[in-house]
Structure 1
Amino acid sequence: MRRFFLIIVAILVLVLAFIPLFRQQNPARQQESGNKITIVYDNKALSGFKGSWGFAALVKFKNYTILFDTGSDGEILLSNMNKLGIDPKSIQYIFLSHIHGDHTGGLWAILKENSNVTVFLPSIFPDGFKEKVRSFGAKVVEIYEPKEILEDIYTTGVMFPVGEQALILKTSKGLVVVVGCSHPGIVKIVERAENITGENAYLVVGGFHLFGAPEREIRKIGTSLKRLGVQKIMPCHCTGSKAEDIFAEEFGTDYIECGTGKTISW
């Protein structure tokens, strides 16, 4: 009996000894525990928030806080952020996907609250828009080619038509791709993200621009995304209710419903 007791004690000692080692060998897991995307502007909204046509999401990744797009109405954007406990002054970077007003309209309200930001925007934006951003005291970084803009954070570069960029986060689970309206096509955007980084996409969040698209096309897109390795999707904004229903059917529990106030973490 005593021998059995000693064996148990020895095993417990070994387990306790290896726990710190295990933690040291998994820094990525510790580092990414606070990573999340919070929808702060969308057509749909959870109870207590305001929904309106447009899109914006707050991305917290590593030590970075990035506002992806700004919706169409600054007052609504700030109201939703306030209810979520998000201080505009905590934003370090603003990433604008494309020039359309439902993605840039709330920018000026944010800059009035916090001009100490860097704004990543497509170089094809009008010069007057860029100068207005600078007039607040914000820094403008013009994007055209795909590149790494922060540690493990990339832009797809400007894609046509419209001239749109998407945000790519390189995580331990795979790529997290955040899109505005996907005017170039959501599959093409994910393909480019994977080509840039050499990794598969894990999660795709944002507007898929599929309202009015036929069912056959939507199902083909779902199949293509799965083929590219996409595990989870959160279609928002301009995706369309029919496409959302089809994606929910195709992805099952890996489909995440979008709406202002919703948070997804990894």
Structure 2
Amino acid sequence: MCEGGDAAEVFASAPRNAEGAAVDPIALQPVDEVRITTLVDNVFDALLTGDDRVTRADVGNGRVTAAQFEGGSTDAGLRAEHGFAALVTVRRGASTTTLLFDTGLSPDGMVVNADRLGVDLSEVQGVVLSHGHFDHAGGLAGLVGRGRRRMPMVLHPAAWTRRRLAPPRGEVFDLPTLSKRALEGEGFAVVERREPSLLVDGCVLITGEVDRTTEFERGMPPPHQAWTGSGWEHDPLVQDDQALVVHVRDRGLVVLTGCGHAGAVNIVRHARRLTGVDRLCALLGGLHLSGPAFEPVIPPTVAALTELAPDMVVPAHCTGWRAQHALAAALPGAWLPGSSGSTYRIAA
């Protein structure tokens, strides 16, 4: 669905069946700990409480000027917006590495929340984009504004695809499109990969294109369209959608999604098949189960995830309230509400 391209590229981006073990399995090195801090989510709830799995931000984050209060200031809490960004810190022995997975919607939302949480974005050693939709890449401008430029950025080559929403009745909305030229001009070392990538000395897996193997996860409805170079066509697959995977020693896989356009179950199956690790420890991130086109997918998704019996499920961003309720009811011991400023810790 990219502008230009040849037959080989079209073939490479086509969905395919995946049966049996991976032909080229990934030797994902186990880690001792992973911490995932949600810098941007659709929700900020200052009244959520933490436990041994999650630390919550409270309303006291972010003192701002406000003349109508005595003393001239108030506490602003954190921002919530229709987007997603997460800080991922992995520890193996004495070695610790921090990556940024997506950057939220607005140019300043992620950096404002990072400041209010006391997160130093100068420690980020690389950026991973789950896909090219603007609500996951908007915060790159704020990151650049902080002088964070000279770092690798891993994404799928279809992330540059021009896309739009063209409902049968309603105005066409052209989605803002990432500019490779602009990002490289800012100093990002852009790494385009369709295939899986191993980062952080083999401790972090970026899935690349996800095998579509379920019968019920069929992707985006017809209004979601992509420019082919000669016209607009239905883009159901969002082929650039990819996830981040970590293997926590003795616990299993931790899977982090942006929107989960490939389907939550497809993504988990793909991660298990690539790594040869059957145990799903945690699933976090957007699962894109909101709205009439996706609500029929909720029951089979919940059933499949219930069978996997993860220790932690944190649906975020575009999951939708119906799916949240269904997952909370089916997995009461594993489900945790998402919120900007929450840090989830999974340790060996």
TM-score, reference length from structure 2: 0.64
Whether 1:117 and 2:151 are equivalent positions in the alignment is yes
Taking CA–CA contacts closer than 8 Å with sequence separation of 6 or more, which of the two structures ends up with the larger relative contact order? 2
2:104 to 64, 71, 79: 71
Structure with the greater alpha carbon radius of gyration: 1
Deviation at 1:216, TM superposition (A): 6.1
How far does residue 136 in structure 1 lie from its aligned partner after superposition?
1.2
Structure 1: how far apart are the matches of 2:86 and 2:342?
10
Equivalent position amino acid for 2:287 in 1: F
Distance, in Å, in 1 between the alignment partners of 2:311 and 2:302 is: 11
Query: Match for 2:39: what amino acid?
Result: V
Displacement over 3 Å in runs of 4+: 213-217
Q: What is the 5 A alignment of 1:142-157?
A: 142-150=192-200, 151-157=202-208
Please point out which of 211, 230, 248 is paired with 1:171.
Answer: 248
Percent identical pairs in the alignment equals 32
Determine which of 324, 331, 339 is the counterpart of 1:251: 331
Q: Who is 1:45 aligned against?
A: 44
Q: Is this contact kept in 1: 2:289–2:297, CA < 8 A?
A: no
2:345 corresponds in structure 1 to 265
Aligned to 2:189: 139
CA contact (8 A) 2:312 2:334 kept: yes
**1:203-257 alpha-carbon deviations (Å, 9 max, x no partner):** 0110000012576632321221233353321000000011101101111021011
Establish whether residue 231 from structure 1 lines up as the match of residue 307 from structure 2: no
CA RMSD across the alignment: 2.0
Higher-helix-fraction structure: 1
**What letter is aligned with 1:158?**
E
- Report the equivalent of 1:205: 284
> How many positions carry a matched residue from both structures?
237
Assess if the C-alpha contact under 8 Å between 2:151 and 2:189 holds in 1.
Answer: yes
Aligned to 1:11: none
1:32 alignment partner in structure 2: 32
Check conservation: 2:291, 2:320, Cα contact below 8 A.
yes
CA–CA distance in structure 2, aligned partners of residues 98 and 81 of structure 1: 22
Q: Determine if contact 1:46/1:262 at 8 Å carries over to the other structure.
A: no
Q: 2:125 aligns with which of 92, 101, 120?
A: 92
What 5-or-longer segments of structure 1 have no aligned partner? 1-27
Q: TM-score, normalising length from structure 1?
A: 0.83
Structure 2 residue matching 1:223: 3-state secondary structure:
helix
